[in-house]
Amino acid sequence: MDKLLIRGGRELRGEVLISGAKNAALPELCAALLTAQPVTLRNVPRLQDVVTMLKLIRNMGVKAEVGDDGTVRIDAGPLNSPEAPYELVKTMRASVLALGPLLARFGQARVSLPGGCAIGSRPVDQHIKGLQAMGAEIAVEHGYIIAKLPQGQRRLRGARITTDMVTVTGTENFLMAASLAEGETILENAAQEPEIPDLAEMLIKMGAKIEGHGTSRIRIQGVEALHGCNHQVVADRIETGTFLCAVAAAGGDVVLKYGRADHLDAVIEKLRAAGATVTALADGIRVQAHGRMQAQSFRTTEYPGFPTDMQAQFMTLNCVAQGTAKVTETIFENRFMHVNELVRLGAKIQIDGKVAVIEGVERLSGATVMATDLRASASLVIAGLVAEGETVVDRIYHLDRGYDRMEAKLAGIGADIERIK
């Protein structure tokens, strides 16, 4: 099992190329299942979750070619098995995104209940309710979601869908399913994350009729069939935010090429308040940081608020900042699992339910720590960059699920970091 060895204490300087967003690439790979014509996706990140998704759709009979330049060509014309088996989806929650496209195009789907990070429940009941509102018959049996259209019904039917909670993957599933449904679908309480409008723009290129994407109310007029397209995956805002926090913690001057400042308003506002200089460029973001930052309290919430996927990374910055900060996690109930590992490195953190209180220390000290989930892994890497001595981060397969060669990118801007086989 691979580990990362980090020798802390170096400032970061140079340029990092930000990869395509994992949370856009995965639904867009599933959107290619909606048509029998070839689809080309560019800027697809090299991640374990992408490899798993490609394995999953190939298992259905889909042809998928991966280029060295981040291009993936998908031909779902030969798709002959609308099923996502447990063996292929047990490590990845995004597998549920195959449900909507398969049901919409083939009138049936059999998708295993998903696996993934152990950061709390992300119920699929919202997906099931929404697709039932569109006329699907759905049962959950032996760990599988089994969906089909009633006898004599050729297509899903448009509906007004209001979810009990804001759900990103639910919104994506409904968007894809409604594109091929009969009539109009209106999504109320829709997620507004930048990956949603990116998926909608891809679907529009395929012939879908969608309005309001990027707002909480999306209107979709279903069409008979969709066609192939070329689409570039939007830059990963969480990778961008992770590098912003790394530079703020370690110090330095770095340009994040292709990073989108307009996708990270809440995080950038906190970084500026902490003392970092963050500048939006025509094709990226520049971040400069010198000396200790000031601790910043924040509360995670749905986009455009402070993202839960940035909580662990910013908490690490608070660990070495001046002052005391309070972090409130409102999205997932198990998302403080990195705290015990940060404490091993010398951080001072107290947890009370959904609230963590962090008292900044001048320095952390290197130790062996264990990654428990994807974003926790990133927080421990940042901690290693600022800790005295050597830090070893174990179980980095979590990191590889969501970051495209993170250690190589960090080494390229001056970090002393290496992967140990």
Residues classed as catalytic: 117
Maximum alpha-carbon separation in the chain: 69
* Among 401, 408, 384, 404, CA closest to 5: 384
Q: How many CB atoms lie within 10 A of CB 299?
A: 15
Kindly list the strands in the beta sheet with 137-141, ordered across the sheet, starting from the edge strand earlier in the chain. 83-84, 108-112, 144-148, 137-141
CA distance 146 to 150: 13
Contacts of 345 (CB under 8 A, 6+ apart): 364, 365, 366, 367, 369, 383, 384, 387, 391
SS (H, E, C) 35-69: CCCCEEEECCCCCHHHHHHHHHHHHCCCEEEECCC
Is residue 42 within 8 Å of 230, Cβ to Cβ? yes
* Residue matched to tokens 């089994």: 146
